Amino acid sequence: MNKKLRTIVAIITLVMAFTATLNQTLMVTALPVLMVKLHVSLNTVQWLTTGYVLVLGIVTPLSANLYQKFSNGKLQV
């Protein structure tokens, strides 16, 4: 990989990491509202955050595997 491509990949990775952190923060700040609207306890609504992290942990390696098997155009469709 040349230097320009490495820089682009690093910037994209940093933006994606920031977005994931922001999503997690937004979910945590929304927990009290979700508790009231759904009439559930904190333990129950906290599973939303746990589920998000679990899905993210499953999808990340899966997307790398799919990217190796298929072209970029086929994955975007």
Instruction: Give 17-66 pLDDT, tens digit per residue.
Output: 898 888 888 888 888 998 999 999 989 888 888 888 888 888 888 887 77
Question: Which pLDDT band holds residue 77 (cuts at 50, 70, 90)?
Answer: low
In total, how many domains does the chain have?
Answer: 1
Q: Are 45 and 31 in contact (CB under 8 A)?
A: yes
- Residue 36's pLDDT is 94
**Token code pair at residue 77:** 């469709």
Q: Which domain holds residue 11?
A: 3-76
Determine the Cα angle at 40 with ends 39 and 46, to 5°: 140
